[in-house]
Amino acid sequence: MTSKLKITIIGGGVGGYPAAIKAARIGAAVTLVEKDLLGGTCLNRGCIPTKSLLHAGEVVQTMQEAETFGVHCKGYIIDFAAMMARKQAVVNQLRNGVQGLLKKKKVNIIRGSARLLEPGKVKIAETGEVIQSDKVLIATGSKPRQFDFKGSAGLDLLNSDQALELAKLPKSVVIIGGGVIGLEFAQIFNRLGVEVTVLELLEDIAAGIDTDIASVLRRIMTGRGINIITGADIQRLSKKKGLITVHYYAAGAAQIAVGEKIIMAVGRVPVTEGLGAEKIGLDMKKGALVVSDQMETNLPGVYAAGDVTGKTMLAHAAAAESECAVDNMFGRKKQINFRTIPGCIYTSPEVGCVGLTEAAARERFDVEVGRFPLTACGKALVVNETEGFVKIVADKKHGEIIGVHIVGPRATDLIAEAVLGMSMEMTVEELANAVHPHPTLSESLMEAAMSIHGGAIHIP
């Protein structure tokens, strides 16, 4: 069966191309349909370009703090055009790499828009070609959410895609939305000397992360000059002399924020337009495709993965879901453990989280919490990044770790250890007894576990 199985994948982003590679490796005949750029949002307009610019800003920050390390710089010049060119070069190299991998696996790539006629039958809108296959995977991703505020008609409001294509660095920006996307853009522009205001409707930034983590992140970002306003209810927009004014209510009073550019960072929504989903009877909920634990839709043989399912809208989740779908296409029983999918924010300091927050855990378990501040970590002091901490939430009865939350340098790398541990149902005792190299930031994880099991060494 494996040598004859025909699979059509709609979408060439991280919810599509890993599935194509895996299915082709197993032995399927794979057709991948992509109407835009291979790599999807993550590679072209999300994860990769934003992290490239964030790293450029990190270099700027290092220059600013160089004297702390005994290095005296005579000055530096921010070349925004060069930063953007490097960002694009990185994106192009990775996209070409994806294309090369697909070609090597003999995946048939069709450039066009796909529409489902029935399970197993897909039509390409541009050419009229009909592709018949045994299985179909829908991985059409998501797009920036749009909100129309009063007075916004005719104004040049940027979404996250457009913000990554700016040719000139603005003097000031107002970012509407204090989630992951908004905060990362705030960090990018702030490091490059732009005046930044973030307006968030909710009472805290980065909704969904542990409140202690959010509190530290907000304090540090505010301390670096980013104006963060929460509980901001936007009323209307207006423009005068090249500047856009956002009128909003916060703290019981009418207020304004003024910027040369306005960036809309109010989340993302699944892309299902043109798929013919409703016509062929695909179940949907709140604009997303409904799937089983095996990533299969209500129509046998039709699967979906990534942002289009409305589950965990993260690139690594999309890749895992796509590979899970392929395994189930071949009869290999597999499910995604969403409990151990990490979330990351690439600001300074970084944030890495997996599992339950302390508040959520207390609703379900009798918990114990371990903390270790980075002020007590030797490596953090060496690199001069001691603001932050590691927090471990554990089930008191069994000692199993059910949540890990990190705010600090390289948190997005450190969280991988917690993901591995939680995937193996690691206990606090096991993590505390695992010898970590010294001096490293990873010791903070060990010490946080030790603070629950016997007591940390480097804090009272």
Catalytic residues: 438
Short-list 259, 213, 219, CA closest to 369: 213
User: Strand 233-240 to strand 135-138: parallel, antiparallel, or no bridges (unpaired)?
Assistant: unpaired
Q: Which residue is listed with tokens 């202690």? A: 212
Query: Please, what is the Cα angle at 148 between 218 and 236, to 5 degrees?
Result: 70
Residues 6 or more apart whose Cβ sits within 8 Å of residue 46 = 160, 315
Separation of alpha carbons 156 and 260, rounded Å: 10
Local structure of residue 12 (DSSP, 8 states): -
- Answer positive or negative: Cα dihedral of 144, 150, 152, 153: positive
Q: Half-sphere exposure of 115 toward its Cβ, with a 13 Å CA cutoff?
A: 13
Tell me the C-alpha distance between 403 and 339, whole Å: 9
DSSP annotation of 205 reads S
Report the alpha-carbon distance of residue 34 to residue 23 in Å, rounded. 17
19 Cβ contact list (under 8 Å, min separation 6): 7, 9, 137, 139, 305, 322, 323, 325, 326
What does the alpha-carbon distance between residue 374 and residue 357 come to, in Å, rounded to a whole number? 20
By DSSP bridging, strand 401-408 and strand 389-395 are antiparallel
Cα–Cα distance measured from residue 133 to residue 282, given in angstroms and rounded to the nearest whole number: 17
Choose among 231, 261, 264: nearest CA to 248: 231
Beta carbons within 10 angstroms of residue 213's beta carbon: 25
Torsion, Cα 63 67 69 73, to 10 degrees, reads 50
